[in-house]
Structure 1
Amino acid sequence: MAKYKLAIFDWDGTILDSIGTIVNSVHGAAKDLNLPILDDQTVKNIIGLRLDTAIGQLYPELSQEELRIFLENYTKHFHFLEKVAPNLYPNVLETLQKLREENILLAVATGKSRVGLDRILNMLGLSDFFDATRCADETAGKPDPKMLHELLTQFGLTNKEAIMVGDASFDLQMANNANIDCIAVSYGAQPTSSLKNYSPKYIIDQFNELINHLITPQELF
């Protein structure tokens, strides 16, 4: 028996192995503007926020025009790198299919833009795979809980019937703000020492561990 009716997933760093692409795109855009190259973990710590918000935090000295140029350059770098090999993390597709077999609704709540998410879903052949998706440019960005509230409303569910899965503090804080249970993944952008501060029910090292946490054992046999 499924323990939740709706599983909501972050995208970058949770489902898609894209952390390196994001970090290198930020570095490339910074180099284009002769800005200092920040260490990788500093960049990883803002993954999950809306892109303009994230870059504004990394480089608060940028004017609005400089920020616009930075975002344009970031997008160019990201599109180039994304074409090389966008990969799901191990066991993601098989695990999601297992959850669907148990009638668990699947949704994505991401800091990506709608154009960006739809592009990568299409590249991976997953355009129709999820029951719903929410992007930061069409609602409030993380850690505001609005996108989670919208998903609950869409499916007519309560906060106790859904769970959020993510790799960043923004994901877990958003779940906390919506009073929704959450699970952290250890293989994404932020260290588990940071994620523990947001009281996830579990911290998993492999995506397929979700099966044990979202489906009661008797349903596996």
Structure 2
Amino acid sequence: MIKMQKIRKVYSTGKVEVEALKKIDLKIGENEFISIMGPSGSGKSTLMNLMGCLDTPTSGEYFLDGQKVESLRPNELAEIRNQKVGFVFQSFNLLPYATAFENVEVPLIFAGMPSRKRKKRAEELLEQVSLKDRADHKPTELSGGEMQRVSIARALANQPRLILADEPTGNLDSVSGKEIVDLFEDLWRQGHTIIVITHDTEISSRTKRIIKLKDGLIVDGQ
């Protein structure tokens, strides 16, 4: 699913260069359930941004689902993101004025799905995350755990093979956090590749492989 070779990422701020990733090699197969751990500044978020085609490396090769992507144009990267990657964020990133149903519909609208098919798909997704009865509620009317479930339903909208989650339980209590990890485990059993960035050892212990980063290098789990 993911193959990275000698991936390096450098950020430039004026005359200062920060090497966020230092020629890392990484392979992730189909249907893996992985956590990525490391202290702040270790390169976790940079790695996720590269995996999800939100950014491109300074050097090195990246293959996603067999396709070489590191040198693609922004519009080509956007197409790959829409087709193959679902994102889940700590802050949910839901539209505050839209209902749960409408939030889930958004990527389907951008994909050009016809209205009737789109509404059926959104309904199925909310049912999958056990929120069908909350479809008409806006984010302010939902708990943190419910908002994250809506976020996951939205991430699944275009049937991506890869789900990337950045601290998905960071704003949740322990009970809601466990429910979200349960949901990720269900999705993994259904055939998705799940990659979770987390500081929480209780979450990482539920995954099947732990990748540890430090100072831009993979130090364990490669």
Give the TM-score normalised by the residue count of structure 1: 0.30
Give the TM-score normalised by the residue count of structure 2: 0.30
Q: Could you say which structure has the higher helix fraction?
A: 1
Q: Could you say which structure has the higher strand fraction?
A: 2
